[in-house]
Every structure is written in C-alpha cells, then in structure tokens.
Amino acid sequence: MASWRQIVKQVAYWTVPAGFLNIARTRLHRNSVYLPSLSAEESAILAHNKELRNRHLGERCFILATGPSIKTQDLKALQGETCIAVSNFFVHPDYHLIAPRYHCMAAYHPPITEEGWIAWMKEAAAKTGDSTFFFALSDLKRHQDAGVGAGRSVHYLHCGRSSASRQHGVDLTKPIFGPVSVPVMALQVALYMGFKRIYLLGCDHDWILHMNRSSHFYEEEQHALVRNGYNEWFNFDWETDFAFMAALWRQYKTIRLCAESCSAEIYNATPGGLLDVFPRVRYESLFVGDNPVSSSD
C-alpha cells in the first residue's frame, strides 16, 4: 500500500502543472544551502550560538535593510538602539553613528566570484566597527582561508531547510531558513535572542515594479560585488522572479508564526514597499511613546 508521502507526490504529479513543479524545485535548491554531515568543528561552532539565546529578552531592536525608502528616514534617531544591519548597509552615511551591534550577511552563491566575495567581506569588516557578524556555515572555510572575521565576534548559521515553526520556534544551533532575502536571516537571529518587538526598515521588496533595474538607498558602485562585475539580475525572467517573491513571503509568514509562539511582535516600519505580512507602523512614532502608532492611524 502506498504511503501518504507517495500519494501526495502522485496527486501533485497529476494535478500541479509541470512548470510550477519545476519552478518550486529550482527555487528550493537556489534559495537553500545544503550542507553535508557536519564535522565536529562545525557542530561545535553551531553549539557556540547557545550563548545568544534570550540575550536580549524583552528588548526591542531594528533590522536595517538596504531598500531605497531608507533615504526618506532620519536614522540618527537610532543612536543608542539595538540594531541588526544586513548586507551592504554599512555604506550608509550614518552607520557609525547608529553603530549596529549585529550584522548579517547571506551565503555566497554563484555567479559571485570568489575574488569579489572576499573583497566585499573585507570591506564589510573594515567598515562595521565592532559589530558581531552572522555568516552562513557554508562559508566557514572560505572565510577562514581569507582571514575574514579574525579578531572579532562571529557566529555561523546552518542555512538550509529550517525546522522553524509555531511549535519549534527558531534555534540557531540547528538549521534555519536559507534566506530568500537577508532580513529573513536577521529576523531569525532577533527571535532567538529574545527581542520582544522587532521593527523592519528598508524592506521595500518591490523589485517587480522595477525589474532588471537595481534599486537601493546607495549608488550601485558603492557595492564591492558590483565593482567586481556582479549583476543581481543574472537569472532574470518573470516566471522565476514571481516564484522567488512567493518563496520569500512564505518564509516571512512562517517567521510571523514563530514570533507569535514566543509572544514577540514584528512590525514593518518601511514607508511604502510591498511587504504586507507584518503590521505597519510609522517610524517616527517609535520614539515618542511606549506604543507603536499604526501607519493607518
């Protein structure tokens, strides 16, 4: 007798269009990093993340992404706040004033060149003060060989198929989502560290409105990868990029459930943009009282 898994596969084969199944398989592999069995060294590195559990229990934090909407906000108000920056945010003119305590970098992936990646990592290390870095475990040897992260606080994350859910929450000593977009990594870090209220900035996620044209708060030449020949639209077509966005929304929705399970709250303080998974708040309202003000008020 066929198992329930076999039945599901058979039903999908006959009812789901082949094109959709191919997209799903492609995106699953493209947006997750599959690691072989962990070595004793790698397991010990993940165990090191236990020291982060509930480090900021009950506090609030801001996740700083790189969408163009950031240019409309005065981030000087974040001085003294606990911030988690992502990706190329370190080129922001107020970075050293804000002094993000943490910085998340997604995993290396082709067609980024090894030379371009290491140039970017070294630039990030030079411009992020004493921020604690979060990297993908799949980049461990790459970084060790290049001396990236030497002499500073670094945590590695097993980015792949996540077991995160309402029941299990987020555990940085185990696999987490291979993030479709880096704020997904930062949100998992924030929940694990126990933040009570988490605010997203610069999460415009509106690339479908300007396909084949990059848009950030900075000029593209300010990104070391771009200067080394990288083009983020290397694999552009409408079908796969809509699937890409759908995968991102699914990750955000799972993270929302994880937040609810531990009584944490995630708000989107990005002006504009398309992200509708989390309630919106006006950034300016976060510094005038104890409660966020809905952007619809």
pLDDT, mean of residues 157-164: 79
Specify the pLDDT at position 110: 81
E-assigned strands of the chain?
60-64, 83-86, 102-104, 132-136, 154-157, 159-160, 176-177, 197-201, 265-268
* φ, ψ for residue 172, nearest 5 deg: -75, -5
Specify the pLDDT at position 217: 85
Number of other CB atoms surrounding residue 146 within 10 Å: 16
Nearest CA among 184, 202, 145, 236 for reference residue 33 = 184
Checking phi first, is residue 260 left (phi over 0); if not, alpha (psi -120 to 50) or beta? alpha
The domains of the chain are located at: 36-286
Q: What is the pLDDT of residues 85-109, one digit of tens each?
A: 999 999 999 999 999 999 999 899 8
Q: How confident is the model at residue 1 (pLDDT cuts 50, 70, 90)?
A: very low
Specify the pLDDT at position 25: 42
Query: Which residues lie closer than 8 Å to 31 by C-beta, 6 or more apart?
Result: 178, 179, 180, 244, 247
Mean residue pLDDT across the chain? 84
For the question of whether the overall pTM of this predicted structure is more than 0.85, the answer is: no
Residue 3 pLDDT exceeds 70: no
Specify the pLDDT at position 14: 40
CATH number of 36-286: 3.90.1480
Residue 173 · residue 188 · CB < 8 Å: no
Residue 165 pLDDT exceeds 80: no
* Integer angstrom CA distances of residue 245 from 31, 198, 216, 251, 285: 11, 22, 17, 10, 29
